[in-house]
Amino acid sequence: MEQDFGAFPALRDVSLDIQPGELVALLGPSGSGKTTLLRVIAGLNSPDRGRVLFDGENATNLPVQDRHVGMVFQNYALFKHMTVADNIAYGLRVRPRRTRPSRAAIKARVAELLQFVQLDGLGGRYPAQLSGGQRQRVALARALAIEPRVLLLDEPFGALDARVRKDLRRWLRDIHKQTGLTTVFVTHDQDEAMELADRVVVLNEGRIEQIGTPEELYDRPASPFVISFVGEAVALPVTIADGHVRFGGRELHIDTHGLRSGPARVFFRPADIAVAAEGNGDLEGRVESLRRTPAGVRATIAIDGYDQTLEIDSPLERSASLGGRVPLSLAKARIFPADENGEYVDAGDGI
């Protein structure tokens, strides 16, 4: 399956190739175009230009009814006036007479799907009588009933509370494994995307920032947006001069990978910075507050020449004193040119 769009108000030059059987997450903040992209795949929105291909076949002008996509909507969009069983049977009952299964076959399929989503015995209930998690599963069963070519889920866990979310995540992973369906889901929750998906598409302002496996996104983020959106990151403004990276009066030992001289930003994960032995620091900071944690101490540290604070966990024996200055060492960092809209240079791993 392949999408390829040009100018669409919410999407710009998005090109995406999804392999059969893959579980793909579209990840991005609100307004990034992820839901629009999902709706374009479903056929609910049509792009101004560009194409949608299913198995190499052009589906751009295929009406939504003929695309055979199983769509699970954000608030499930269950038919309130129908029972759970009627909801699930809907896609089969509206088929033209030639292709419509017999009553008995529909009934059997509904029973099978109810069992599949672990809702046996609830076929006679109305959506209003179900919990959020149960409604979610009815929506999934209804989408699966039409034997879709691809399963699309819009914020599948958005409306659920934290505990149900966790259970359903695992459950969705199992469903994907059992059905082998190509699955695309939209989420703004990076944990969800990273935990579930084979590949994650990071979207920002209608553009794809990076497509990659969770490992690739964590270890080799392609842009400042990806490194800050996927996992926590701290950015330090630096200048590059003749291959040297300067932060305030200090030099950071980061490989610039041929980045041209000028302002740049160094990104690192909070986990990659630690309190160093005296005289070994890349940076220096001041301890602003200390709090006990089960394993040690969490220090809030203001880095010299940087107007924000960051929290560092360190073991008890290394604890610094309040107000004291501590040397900090950077284990890993990435450097990007400062110009947000400029071409990104993949700087590779730092240090």
d(CA 329, CA 333): 11
Is 142 a binder of another protein (CB under 8 A)?
yes
Contact with another protein (CB under 8 A) among 30, 56, 57, 65: 65
Stretches 46-54, 69-77, 250-258, 338-346: which one binds another protein (CB under 8 A)? 69-77
Q: Which of 351, 195, 187 is nearest to 269 (CA)?
A: 351
d(CA 140, CA 148): 11
Is 206 a binder of another protein (CB under 8 A)?
no
Is 126 a binder of another protein (CB under 8 A)?
no
**CB atoms near residue 276 (< 10 Å):** 17
Binding string, 34-63, against another protein, x = CB under 8 A?
--------xxx-------------------
How many residues bind another protein (CB under 8 A)? The answer is 26
Is 77 a binder of another protein (CB under 8 A)?
yes
Is 218 a binder of another protein (CB under 8 A)?
no
DSSP string covering 20-86:
TT-EEEEE--TTSSHHHHHHHHHTSS--SSEEEEETTEE-TTS-GGGS-EEEE-TT----TTS-HHH
Query: Closest distance between another protein and the C-beta of residue 46, in Å?
Result: 13
Residues 6+ apart with CB under 8 A from 342: none
Query: Closest distance between another protein and the C-beta of residue 125, in Å?
Result: 17
Is 334 a binder of another protein (CB under 8 A)?
no
Is 68 a binder of another protein (CB under 8 A)?
yes
d(CA 266, CA 350): 9
Helix (H) or strand (E) holding 218: helix 214-219
Contact with another protein (CB under 8 A) among 14, 23, 40, 69: 69
Is 73 a binder of another protein (CB under 8 A)?
yes
d(CA 273, CA 34): 33
Nearer residue to another protein within complex by CB, 80 or 163:
80
Residues 6+ apart with CB under 8 A from 107: 89
Q: By the criterion CB under 8 A, which residues form the site for another protein?
A: 42-44, 64-71, 73, 75, 77-81, 90-91, 94-95, 142-143, 145-146
